Amino acid sequence: MRKTILDLQEMAQKGEKIAMLTCYDSSFARLLEEQGVDALLIGDSLGMVVQGHDSPIPVALEDIVYHTECVYRGSRSAFILADMPFGTTGVNPEDTFKNAVQLIQAGAQMVKIEGGAMMCETIEFLVARGIPVCAHIGLTPQSVNQLGGFKVQGRAVGQAQQLLRSAKMLEQAGASLLLIEAVPQLLADQLCEQVSIPTIGIGASAKCSGQVLVIYDMLGLGGYIPPRFVKAFIKETGSIAEAVKLYVKEVKSSLFPADEHCYK
């Protein structure tokens, strides 16, 4: 039986860490859930690691729909969430809903939306119409041009306070998960305390309810200098299956991320 958002929330309440990885095809979907991965994210990161772009901005909604269908067909038990790519959410809530519907119909159980408090109206609109939402704050890769690159967010006091306010507002708007990317460890801890919904970290803190990495990164196949929060688990194991199993083990036991994978 496939995990639901209620299962993830129950895991978080019990203190069991959620192990999430990105996934883009049926073969990896099957392998990842066989090794105990709880949730599969069809991320717009596919623009960089699959399509060869410099950022996720060129990824189209049709791309995410296609890869979501592949992951859905290859999995049986893992929770599935899909990114809403650049340009599909910064519109009116009605059009965002139409875009999100395509991902749900493709097999996603939740959509992930980048952005802070400005996305609250849209999230309320989607949730009221039966579409669960994972909010994504901190480093939001779709805003790479505005941010001036893939940089840690929240080091300035004002920016940190804004992220804390946004987190609470996004929860109140109806977000069921909060993904926190590339923020200082202390701020990540505060964000986890700020909300009651499960938090998923990537370059955040081991105190998050769970962790996510790009599958190609944790297998050492990123093709670029990996960010601080990446650990190439395959270097310790020698096989893809064992690398995924080790990732799940270290996430569940709070060994990953270690301090060396977090920002100060």
- Angle at Cα 19 formed by Cα 17 and Cα 23, nearest 5°? 165
Active site includes 69? Answer: no
Cβ within 8 Å of residue 195, ≥6 positions away:
167, 168, 170, 171, 178
CB atoms within 10 A of CB 105: 11
Q: Tell me the CB-side half-sphere exposure of residue 191, using CA atoms within 13 A.
A: 40
Cβ proximity of 229 and 218 under 8 Å? no
Cα gap 125→96, rounded to integer Å: 9
Catalytic residue among 181, 193, 236, 260: 181
Cα gap 75→30, rounded to integer Å: 5
Cα gap 107→104, rounded to integer Å: 5
Q: Which residues of 121-153 are buried (b: 16+ CB within 10 A; e: fewer)?
A: ebbbbbeeeebbbbbbbbbbbbebeeeeeeebb
Cβ proximity of 147 and 118 under 8 Å? no
Q: What are the catalytic residues?
A: 181
